[in-house]
Structure 1
Amino acid sequence: MRVAGVEHVFGSRGAEVPALDRIDLTIEPGELVTLAGPSGCGKTTLLRLVAGFMRPTSGNISVGDREVRGPGAERGVVFQQPTLYPWLDVRGNVALGPKLRGVAKAERTARADTYLDLVGLTDFADRRPYELSGGMQQRTQIARVLANDPDIVLMDEPFGALDALTRERLQGELLSLWRATGKTVLFITHGVDEAVLLGTRVLVMSPRPGRIVLDEPAPFAAASADVDPKDLRASPEFAELTRRVREAIT
């Protein structure tokens, strides 16, 4: 994925608010890139542009050799709040995308069950969303996005509204899913520790208009396959990268 010279301005002439300023970014297949920054810096704006929900004021975004001109099946979005359909059970929510694309019932059910197993919700496949906890609803939303088999998963502060213990558990589950699927992930967060733990690369944006002011590799996402995240967080290397990210934000 390539973001080339992207700028974005909200409003009309005379009441313009610049949101993004000359964003240049390449994300390679299989990377898990985290993006942090102060509130209002344009993180979500950038994600929405990559998702195709909006067009940039200038510059362009491409996936492979195709310019992004709108939403596409190769890009799946996990929002901060789960967007599940209450009249469908969990399996039905996960299978909805393949159903809309005309996938046969047996295949889409099998695909839904595969991803429900990956996120640990096999025993809840027949429940309605309102019967699930917030963390379980978010896991269902992640399974629904993965069932569409996108090349790129865009995550907009997906754990921000969860309690600390649930958030830590889902961070570990996300890393396991990333290793199992090899998906390319762009993960927006306001948490410095979360950005450092999850990212193979950590990006930081400046206050509005947002610019990328830090782009550093991070080893902890890969290391978490063999080392407890609690031990990673306690390491001097984790503390040092966290310090640099925090300084870049402030």
Structure 2
Amino acid sequence: MKKGLVLLIALFCFNSVRSQVLISLIFGDKLNSPFLEFGLEGGVNFSTISDLETSGTNLGFNLGFYFDIRSTKNPAWMINTGVIVKSPMGAHGMPVYSLNDANLDNTFAGGSVNREIRYFNVPVLVKYQFKNNIYLKTGPQFGLLAKAFDEFKKEVDKDDVIYKKNIRDQIRVIDAGVVFGAGYHMKVGNGLNVTVQYYYGLVPVMKGDGPNVYNRSLYVTAGIPIGKGKAAQKRAVKEAELNKIVLPEDEVTPKK
């Protein structure tokens, strides 16, 4: 048991995304119940940073796990939370700035800069699902900074020359904002959730006294319940076993 636990921790430290998938597959059925849905969620997001000169949105891929915690009084209402482990944000096509190195400045003159900021994001959303399986959700999202870098890029003799500058010390460690989303719970298998949601950052991205800029990101994701069918089968087996219990004869036969 101890060796298995150490192995899981080691896998998580080595590659969080692969470990997340592995742990989900192993324990998914234990995390599902009639009022709790657990699954993996991933897709694409189109990000930018407000008030920066850019040529377009930054395309990224996100992956995480989610929990839908349903109300016992009204299952249409639920709390949608989890962790988006891989969640890049940033800006595409920023103008080149000086790297304080004459050779690098000459190399990338006339090029462009892509800014990528990676967070571990935790949404805490209120979700309502209508009878037609369309749902709406909204609430806060909190981000913890993982990595941040500017990628300088220029085409030289039909080849791309790239230089990455670490800017983590220039980015605030905590990000926060609000999410507005809508989606559809498909009646396929155990239920596939297809969602479009928008993140509106409220905390300035950069440190220092410069102009405040904020994260903006549009997410298009699909969520797949993990272990939901297996959990339902286990509950059905338990209910069947309970129904087979026969009371002793003296308890079912009325006394004269």
TM-score by length of 2: 0.24
Larger strand share, 1 or 2: 2
TM-score by length of 1: 0.24
Pick 1 or 2: higher relative contact order, CA cutoff 8 A, min separation 6: 1
